[in-house]
Amino acid sequence: MICVLLNDSDFDRTLSPLEFALEKMGVLYRTWRTFREGFPQDASYCDGLIISGGFTMKNYFEEKSDLYGASYLRNFNKPILGICLGMQILARLAGVSLVVSKELGLSRVWLDGGNDLFKGMKSPLEVCQRHNYALPYVPHGYSIIARNDSTFIQAIASKDNLKYGIQFHPEEIDLGSEMDSLKIFSNFASIVERHSTENSGGEK
């Protein structure tokens, strides 16, 4: 099971574009709306995590909050995919301070086709951008796996192949992301399944 940490309160009572995308690709998931429900109490329930986009990181980095999530992510040793804000959260956990870098609309992104997250995908790919901040450099322990002409770092992958971050929004098909971008979700599901199978002798 992939657990979705949904950070966008605009979708408190309705399905988000991310959830629609997962359903379209046949990915089994369960959603936690972090702004209201916090985080999964039993990490063994989740074989992988997707951290959605959103507007604030306070549920992750304010210890006074009952929804404090940074420690949860640090202790989660299974595959994680961060989208937009989700990638920025992963970068913050790795000690990176973000810089202002506004990008809204469509742009072409060049993908590292050798990375499992982008397996079988076309490159360049036209995708939806919707962010106010970006990574000024690649976090320690990560490598860059996608770039464009404006926000240079468009995707990162940890060297242990457990953490992935993408700055763009592959789920936003209605806002112009190409259909091919949805393969990111089925590819991530395959990464999660492989990791779960390889570690089935112990904790998933």
* Annotated active-site residue in 3, 46, 128, 169: 169
Ramachandran category for residue 33: left, alpha or beta (phi over 0 → left; psi -120 to 50 → alpha): beta
* Annotated active-site residue in 3, 19, 46, 84: 84
CB atoms inside a 10 Å sphere around CB 45:
11
**CA-closest candidate to residue 139, choices 103, 80, 173, 88:** 88
Look up 84 and say whether it is catalytic.
yes
For residue 169, what are its two tokens? 């929004």
Alpha-helix runs per DSSP H in 75-182: 85-93
Look up 131 and say whether it is catalytic.
no
* Annotated active-site residue in 171, 172, 178, 195: 171
Look up 169 and say whether it is catalytic.
yes
Q: What is the DSSP letter of 169?
A: B
CB atoms inside a 10 Å sphere around CB 69:
24
CB atoms inside a 10 Å sphere around CB 77:
12
Q: Which residues are catalytic?
A: 84, 169, 171
